[in-house]
Amino acid sequence: MPSILGANSSSGYELPNSLRLSKDSATYVYKDFDDTGTLNTKGTFSWWNKIYQSSGDMYMMSVRNDSNPEEHIHIRYQNPMLQGQFYKSSSQYAQIITTNVFRDFSAWYHFVLKMDSTDGTANNRIKLFVNGTEVSYATRSMPDQNQDFIISKVATHQFGNHYSGTGSHFDGGIADVHFIDGLALAPTAFAETDDNDQWVPIAYTGAYGDHGYRLEFRQTGTSQNAAGIGADTSGNGNHFAVNSLAALDVVADTPTNNFANLVPVNNISLSEGNTKVVTTRQGYWDAVHSSIGVTSGKWYFEVKASLSDDTFRVAAGVAGDPEQFTILFNGLGATGDPLSTLSATYPFYGKGVWLEHWYNADHDDSTTAAAQSSGDILQFALDMDNYKLWVGVNGQFKASNNNDVSYSDIAAGNNATVTISSAAYTNKTFFPSIWIRDDQDADDNVAEINFGNPSNSISSGNSDFAGIGNFEYVPPSGFFAICTKNLAQYG
């Protein structure tokens, strides 16, 4: 099943927001319907998910009532496949399990659950589509004709939570949620294939029915109303409540503008949309890199490291061979200074929080640069047209000799912190990357990378040169957040 990296055009229909759900934080949205709606034999759910983690059991959506007889339906991610189950009175009357696998943690998937028990052909009564194509089924049992589905009864609709109300939460992004009460619709009602052969959202223009809703996550309030995160914009006023969610969980990473995040690897725990890093073992270096790399253009990102003890070490920057980079550390378990381990074969350029120097495969300026402190924001401005990197701390960029660099210097291409050697960049795509090591408490220290959709609170708020993203400090003129919309125009 192909995944959708994101829009590669800056024009057309746009989704401005998504909601970041966290399995560990038990975040989800829900709506308790206390009346009956339009129709229980026909309905359509449409939503977009970006899966952050592999997990044995994560519920994407569910509908449940606790009356007699108890009923529920759900679609859940079971690493790496999907399962849908349909129950009444504790008896399963339908089930689907896909043969399709979903292992891309950097892309958006579009899901459509089409339900019509009135159809005379049994296999047409429940269909699951991903990115416009019906899935392949390892298991498929269909309901009897005219089976009630619970979807428009007195029931609770949830996204990101187990049907019983607790546990098995979803870890991922969710965007552009629709429920159509009383109509069984094809995926083309909600998305289409664009000129670049990408499956992209379109505006739904049909009816919703009495229990229908649309969740766009345009608001940031936590109340169950039109100003809340779960506001229904269909016109029905079927607003959703939120559990453990805050304004920071509404982000700009969407199916029409996919932001970079970090790729899950062994020995690294990722959360908050795969932007927050915690090492899970002591005494070793581990490494993680971004989902999107760059070969041209000018790019900006930030990293915040929070230290609880002096044995914690973080290094951030850009790597020119991320697969070998992560294998080198996560596979071999490097214990010494990684600077001595790397070479132009595995180029890395960046800044260590614990080190008293800028560093890369060719340069060590330990005599002049200052060490960093917990909570500092490291800034990275990468010019892949001229192979230069400027590194800053808390709003001030530095040259290789540790002299201050002005924003006008960066715009003019002067006084780079590091100039990447031709041996390092030839035939290389560079990826933002993080090293992390803790010799004392492996789960007490974190590094948070901000590609423009931060996991940490931003005190000021600054967008890039194109007006995209949310950063602590102003990106230099002409530098951009790493996202698909910017890549299409400036990469």
The kind and range of the H/E element at 407 are helix 407-412
* pLDDT one-digit tens code per residue, 124-138: 999 999 999 999 999
Identify whether the C-beta of residue 128 lies closer than 8 Å to the C-beta of residue 112: yes
Please, which residues have CB within 8 angstroms of residue 291's CB and are 6 or more apart in sequence?
A: 105, 106, 260, 261, 262, 263, 274
User: CA-to-CA distance for 10 and 7, rounded, in angstroms?
Assistant: 8
Identify whether the C-beta of residue 277 lies closer than 8 Å to the C-beta of residue 307: no
Percent of the chain's residues with pLDDT above 70: 83
Question: pLDDT-based confidence at 278, cuts 50/70/90?
Answer: confident
81 CB neighbour count, 10 Å cutoff: 15
The C-alpha angle with vertex 14 and arms to 245 and 17, in degrees rounded to 5, equals: 10
Residue 1 has pLDDT above 60, yes or no: no
* pLDDT one-digit tens code per residue, 314-356: 778 888 766 665 655 554 444 455 545 554 445 566 655 443 3
User: CA-to-CA distance for 47 and 304, rounded, in angstroms?
Assistant: 32
Please, which residues have CB within 8 angstroms of residue 257's CB and are 6 or more apart in sequence?
A: 6, 7, 14, 15, 468, 483, 484, 485
User: CA-to-CA distance for 37 and 35, rounded, in angstroms?
Assistant: 7
Tokens of 157: 């609709």
- What are the backbone dihedrals phi and psi of residue 233, each rounded to the nearest 5 degrees, phi first? -105, 15
Q: What is the pTM of this model?
A: 0.91
Residue that is written with structure tokens 């608001």 in the block: 219
Residue 167 has pLDDT above 90, yes or no: no
* pLDDT one-digit tens code per residue, 15-40: 999 999 999 899 999 999 999 999 99
Please tell me which of 151-165, 227-241, 321-335, 412-426 the model is most confident about, judged by mean pLDDT.
227-241
Strand 137-141 with 91-98, pairing:
antiparallel
464-476 in b/e burial notation, b at 16+ Cβ within 10 A?
bbbebbbbbbbbb
Q: Considering only CA atoms, which of 136, 141, 111 is closest in space to residue 126?
A: 141
* pLDDT one-digit tens code per residue, 62-115: 999 987 778 999 999 998 999 999 999 889 999 999 999 999 999 999 999 999
Higher pLDDT, 277 or 443: 277
Share the mean pLDDT of the chain.
Answer: 86
Task: Return the pLDDT at 366.
Answer: 39
Go through the domains of the chain in sequence order and give each one's CATH number. 18-251 (2.60.120.200), 268-490 (2.60.120.920)
